[in-house]
Chain A
């Protein structure tokens, strides 16, 4: 598959007059988020990648997920030992399945795919403008997942995409944050991407409904050690209890997900 893509890429490069004579791009966003809605001092950071293919298909995921997925598919078995948990578990794929947005959640032992129609009712603001990374950006607002967002997009980049599940503005979203500043994405880098590779084996992911996924998340919040259950391995009760207590304690301040409903 990877070879096929490479071959494809080479073909594309050598047939300059092809309709796909575009480049792949990677836009890096800095995500700052408040993990605990009651503690404004507890601000966390992460780097997110938005990789856009020449066909306009896009992948959005944390840098750590990208590293993990790429190491997992590399030929260096030793590097597998250094893999640990990223803070966010998702990869969001847009424009590969009609208008559906596919989110891939990787809980290491379990992999789930959510397929949704996301309707964003953007309101454009023609007055406010600012420069971001040398591009002229314009303002738009939208409500999604129980939060009101302010976005800055540029029509100088005619990619109808953006971080997370946001898309559908007449240009690329360079910045977006909610009105309480709990989640804020800011682009800090736009670069060509030589090798666009998802490193995602989508067939490993089980498609489930949003309700089932919510049910799963509720269960692991109630009993975090459920994720460790494996009938082949016995973990003593003390170990499970410790895991439950540690995670419940950590979950206590993780009370501010990006999608509130």
Chain B
């Protein structure tokens, strides 16, 4: 133990004849316990001039050395909780022990307001005029100058180092997460002041219950209304390319609008911009199962597994209108309308090999597909968000007037396919939060109506044996219409107790569907022989309880949902019906344990049940595409899935070594086995029969990475393995099928300097298919990437991307080498971005891949976008 021994002098005695004395001793309580951390000071008698001092150690010992000529000195002992001792002693080396008397020490409490920081909970106002500089243009530039506010390169706004949770304009939240659009384009001259709302809780009902330490920003405008926007223009060749993006906006205190028109033929699928989904939205979408479903299709060409910008031949126009209006009584009305029109072309061929238990059938198809998209989406939302009420109701309509045309050349024969795959949806989504005792309860209600009128025409007619007594004919038409009513309602809340939290929820789902379909031929020989008239009713009641326990190194979750399912299927003309009642218990448990701060172990187990949907049971044939006709006259599929997983994770940031391995296994019990009958011409007929069967799958993933400080490089190696084992009936024989895939991946990222980095990545994939213990050819795919990124100046970027792809196919190998260059320059003063792209420099025209299905290998050839130049300008209005 080190002595806390410090000595000094205040008055500089220059006299050399100092006498040095050492005073030591021990402090104890009456009971003899040592008193540590007391200050023992030696002062001149009756003054406050400290000559020397010490602080008692954990044993209560102190030792003070003193150089002074005073004959008498004063010893002061002060300690919290004890009476102060003051004693005048001789200035000589001595040992003094003290017994301290206990005493309650009360400090006088004081609070003053610190100068630099504004009181919490207040709204802070920044005047824009005071903070704007001459070169500033947008409100984003001015925000950067305001103390406490940071604007990152990607436009994210931080207040006191934390991201803001809302960006309001005049108290209205038109853009939600996409505030960049307004922040970068709203000129600061139109803004009167910026308000920071500290500790902002966006849902007001939760305000006093759920603490928020995030802030929101509110922009107050000078004028009653403001118009602004952004424009991006691009052009190139060949053929003539264009890329347009115009985004005008209007903001006022009661009404706000943001519109956008985007169009291009450069392979940029802007339709994906419409999707700004939160995790909650995604989960709901999954539960309602209300996304567009196509029953019929033209023969697809599988798209390459790299960036769509290399192959997507599109012509897209997208218009979105977002409008927000403030109403009386704190209601807000928001209308979002979007219209999408796209025309895509796909060109290529596929070579398919079907494996059956005793033979292999080959099929060669040359394909030219045209896809037309015509979609209108509207969403009308009414929202009230006040201190005692949160209510949100969205009424949505979606209409898809889509169609597809496909031309196939197969053995000198031309096949035409015309598909009208329309889909309409009208739904209402209601959500409210209210108090239930001490808890906040959430009530949700969803009601939807969907309509799927679709038809497929194929010329010449197919499936001659089945549809036309073995004779050839001109045309076959499949019509189908599915009408659905669906509702889902639930009530739930969350309660916390110590380290536990419980979230109970009750609800019910109800679904009524009517499927009508028929097949027509040019010979008019079918009199309703291939009609489906299926009535489907599904109800589900559920009680869920989610329990979570979290303490120290453990996190345990246990979900115990109980479901009651009822299914009623009836096809009156075909005299078919089935009823099913099931009570299921589907528990899930997971455990995570932090072994040390570097190691984490976790494991989970889940039992779940699935029941078939209407497209898994119908009693008469439906022509799904020109060479696939199927009926599923079988009991409703019931599957039970048992899933286990275990993972191990190591993260050591000091050695910068990271490792993980995950293993998962699942076993699925099915009650239905599907029979694929593969005909001589490669056409398939699918039927289902009742037979219990199992499917096993194993997956192993592992990854290791290490950063080397000296090389400024990060190295990563990954290995994935998967194995699937199941049964299928192929041409009347039960066949065991096993597919396995190995994937090896290596990657090196190097930051050569702050303005230059490189990226090298290699991937090897081996896939193999085994049917009845017979091994089929292993497919090898290789992908190697080398990218260089330069940032020569802050406003300039130069990127070189190269990619080498090698696939071995049935008979030959294919190799593709791609290279692209991008250069971007920002003219800071005017805030204009210029971008130059040179894509597919080596002008690769086609790409060949191979896919492995359960019982076939498909080799595809896809026509790529040719070598192209593109120049883009982006600026604000």
Which positions in A face B, CB cutoff 8 Å? 16-17, 19-23, 25, 30, 32, 43, 45, 47, 54, 56, 64, 67, 71, 75-79, 82-87, 95, 98-99, 107, 109-111, 117, 119, 121-127, 133-134, 138, 155, 157-160, 168-171, 186, 188-192, 201, 203-206, 208, 212-213, 215-216, 218-220, 222-223, 226-227, 229-232, 237, 240-242, 244-246, 248-250
Contacts and interface: CB of A to CB of B under 8 A. Distances in A.
A17 B101 CA distance: 11
Given A19-B102, A78-B209, A124-B8, 14 more contacts: A16-B104, A19-B81, A21-B81, A64-B213, A79-B211, A84-B161, A158-B78, A171-B39, A206-B597, A222-B751, A226-B707, A237-B759, A237-B787, A242-B154
B407 to A, nearest CB: 38
B707 A223 contact: yes
A99 B4 contact: yes
Given A19-B81, A134-B110, A229 B597 contact: no
B503 to A, nearest CB: 9
A235 to B, nearest CB: 12
A83 B660 contact: no
A246 B153 contact: yes
Contacts of B108: 134, 190
A253 to B, nearest CB: 11
21 contacts: A20-B81, A21-B104, A23-B105, A25-B107, A45-B114, A67-B213, A75-B497, A78-B210, A79-B211, A82-B210, A83-B213, A98-B58, A99-B1, A111-B597, A122-B6, A155-B39, A169-B39, A219-B707, A229-B653, A231-B658, A232-B660
Contacts of A160: 37, 39, 55
B705 A229 contact: yes
Given A110-B597, A215-B654, A76 B496 contact: yes
B212 interface: yes
Contact of B10 (A47, A79, A124, A134): A124
Interface of B: 1-2, 4, 6, 8, 10, 29, 31, 33, 36-41, 48-50, 53, 55, 57-58, 76, 78-81, 84, 102, 104-117, 150, 152-154, 160-163, 206, 209-214, 494, 496-499, 501, 548, 552-553, 594, 596-598, 647, 649-651, 653-654, 656, 658-660, 662, 703-705, 707, 709, 712, 714, 749, 751, 754, 757, 759, 787, 789, 791
A116 to B, nearest CB: 12
Nearest to A186: B114
A198 to B, nearest CB: 14
Question: Which of B38, B53, B789 has most chain A Cβ within 10 Å?
Answer: B53
A232 B2 contact: no
Contacts of A248: 754
B86 to A, nearest CB: 12
Contacts of B39: 155, 158, 160, 169-171
B146 to A, nearest CB: 12
Contact of B6 (A17, A121, A220): A121
A32 B116 contact: yes
B653 A232 contact: no
State the majority secondary structure of interface residues on B: loop
Contacts of A21: 81, 102, 104
7 nearest A-B pairs in the assembled complex, by CB-CB distance: A231-B660, A170-B39, A158-B78, A84-B162, A75-B496, A30-B114, A45-B116
B50 A124 contact: yes
B158 to A, nearest CB: 9
Contacts of B112: 133, 188-189
B117 A22 contact: no
B858 to A, nearest CB: 27
Given A22-B105, A223-B714, A188 B647 contact: no
A244 B33 contact: no
B470 to A, nearest CB: 55
Contact of A190 (B48, B110, B501, B548): B110
A122 B50 CA distance: 13
B789 A168 contact: no
Contacts of A192: 107, 109
B111 A170 contact: no
B312 to A, nearest CB: 20
A174 to B, nearest CB: 10
B660 A77 contact: no
Nearest to B118: A45
Contacts of A119: 2
Nearest to B39: A170
Contacts of B712: 222-223
A67 B108 CA distance: 25
A98 B690 CA distance: 75
B602 to A, nearest CB: 10
A22 B82 CA distance: 9
Given A84-B214, A160-B37, A170 B654 contact: no
Contacts of B754: 248
Contact of B597 (A20, A190, A205): A205
A98 B650 CA distance: 33
A216 B653 contact: yes
A196 to B, nearest CB: 14
B154 A78 contact: no
A77 B106 CA distance: 37
Contacts of B206: 78
A96 B117 CA distance: 32
Contacts of B109: 190-192
Nearest to B794: A249
B669 to A, nearest CB: 30
B620 to A, nearest CB: 46
A237 B749 contact: yes
Given A124-B8, A226-B653, A22 B2 contact: no
A251 B41 CA distance: 45
A194 B1 CA distance: 33
Contacts of B111: 188-191
Contacts of A201: 552
Given A77-B548, A242-B154, A123 B102 contact: no
B78 A170 contact: yes
Contacts of B714: 223
Contacts of A64: 213
Nearest to B44: A126
B49 to A, nearest CB: 4
A79 B597 contact: no
A146 B813 CA distance: 66
B501 A212 contact: no
Contact of B8 (A19, A30, A123, A237): A123
A95 B37 contact: yes
Contact of A125 (B10, B110, B649, B651): B10
Contacts of B76: 155
Contact of A56 (B80, B650, B662, B787): B80
Given A99-B1, A242-B153, A246-B152, A168 B55 contact: yes
A97 to B, nearest CB: 10
Question: Which of B38, B58, B115, B213 has most chain A Cβ within 10 Å?
Answer: B213
A77 B210 CA distance: 9
B659 A170 contact: no
Contact of B789 (A124, A231, A241): A241
A245 B494 contact: no
A125 B8 CA distance: 10
B660 A22 contact: no
Contact of B117 (A47, A79, A110, A203): A47
